Amino acid sequence: MPDFKFNMDFVPVPKDFIEHVMPSSNASYVMVYIYVLMLATTGKSMGTADIAKKLGLIESDVINAIKYWNDKGMMSGTGETVIIKHSSDEEISPETNRKTIEDISDIISGNKALSDLCLISQEILGKTLGNNDIETLYWFYDELGFSPEVITMLLEYCVSLGKRNMKYIEKVALTWHENNITTMDEAQAYITNAASRKDYISVLRKLFGINERNLSKTEKLYLESWRDQLKMSTDMVGLAYDYCVLAVGKLSFPYMNTILKRWAEQGIKTIPEAEKDHNNFKQQSSNSEIGTETQGISEIEQRFMDSYDSE
């Protein structure tokens, strides 16, 4: 007799959830709920930090989603293990790394450095800390391994950018953690470099006459690569821009990138060296049927430039 098997490769979302619960729920919370159902269907367990990474959220969003569905009666459990259920009684246990506010309050009250951090944080943020704020600050300390001094620098940096929202601060904290920033020196180096990059981009945006709009992701990557990889000053980029406009009559990031890459490959780092290279290139071009400012670039990059310039 043939052996028939049913391969369940879908997630059984309850009809009542789709019709009555989902429309009025936060989109991020819905994402968490459906992802957890998928984990339940496959019998897997995953921590909230990993769930957040998979969904492109911050961990506090996942924590808040769990609390939300708990209030809705669609899951049960407290403390570090939460059981989330749906109509077919399948379960999943996301293991949270965060302690309860009661646990955190006890720890902070017995740790002067953390107590002082809470007081300083209130001054920096200009508000009284709520339970969620305190939980997040402690998470920086306990989970990310930041010292109170580094956390203070983190808060001051974000406030200097006009950002006081704890969700934004958490995103920056995760960026620091991913870049292995754990000491005050490392944090200061990051802040200094970020400020320098911002100034670099600001100067070039003004030079290109594009202050009134946001940069596209590709444009920003070009600017950052000219600074960080090619080590080109704003003056050098400005000269490449001048040559670009003379050649094609408008701003072209791929065209400029070709010029700057050639200069970097040839070790050209100063304006006199670049001008000499340009004059030599013009002289060679006058004796060549193919002579162009972008002679020698790959076929693929040439097609990219042509398609960009035709826009």
pLDDT tens for residues 137-149? 999 999 899 999 9
Query: Tens of pLDDT along 262-278?
Result: 999 999 999 999 999 88
Question: What is the model's pLDDT at position 291?
Answer: 44
pLDDT of residue 61: 81
Q: What is the 3-state secondary structure (H, E, C) of the chain?
A: CCCCCCCCCCCCCCHHHHHHHHHHCCHHHHHHHHHHHHHHHHCCCCCHHHHHHHHCCCHHHHHHHHHHHHHCCCEECCCCECEEECCCCCEECCECCCCCHHHHHHHHHCCHHHHHHHHHHHHHHCCCCCHHHHHHHHHHHHCCCCCHHHHHHHHHHHHHCCCCCHHHHHHHHHHHHHCCCCCHHHHHHHHHHHHHHHHHHHHHHHHHCCCCCCCCHHHHHHHHHHHHCCCCCHHHHHHHHHHHHHHHCCCCHHHHHHHHHHHHHCCCCCHHHHHHHHHHHHHHHHCCCCCCCCCCCCHHHHHHHHHHHCC
Query: If you average pLDDT over residues 174-186, what whole number do you get?
Result: 91
307 vs 129, higher pLDDT: 129
* pLDDT surpasses 90 at 310: no
d(CA 307, CA 251): 14
Whether 97 has a pLDDT exceeding 70, the answer reads no
259 pLDDT higher than 90: yes
User: Residue 91 above 50 pLDDT?
Assistant: no
Q: What Cα–Cα distance (Å) separates residue 190 from each residue in 166, 180, 230?
A: 20, 11, 19
Question: According to the model, what pLDDT value does residue 288 have?
Answer: 59
| 47-61, 163-177, 246-260: segment of lowest average pLDDT | 47-61
179 has a pLDDT exceeding 70: yes
* Tokens, residue 154: 């983190």
Which pLDDT band, with edges at 50, 70 and 90, does 47 fall under?
A: confident
pLDDT tens, 212-236?
888 898 999 999 999 999 999 999 9
At 83, the pLDDT band (50, 70, 90 cuts) reads: low
Statement: the pTM of the whole predicted model exceeds 0.85: no
Distance of CA 93 to the CA centre of its chain: 28
**Sign, Cα dihedral of 180, 184, 185, 189:** positive
For the chain, the average pLDDT equals 81
Rounded to an integer, the average pLDDT of 168-191 is 92
User: Which of 170-174, 210-214, 305-309 ranks highest by mean pLDDT?
Assistant: 170-174
Mean pLDDT lowest among 36-40, 156-160, 230-234: 36-40
**Average pLDDT, integer, range 293-311:** 42
Q: What's the CA gap between 285 and 292, in Å, rounded?
A: 6
pLDDT band at 75 (very low <50, low <70, confident <90, very high): low
Q: What is the pLDDT of residues 101-116, one digit of tens each?
A: 888 889 998 999 999 9
pLDDT at 204 over 50: yes
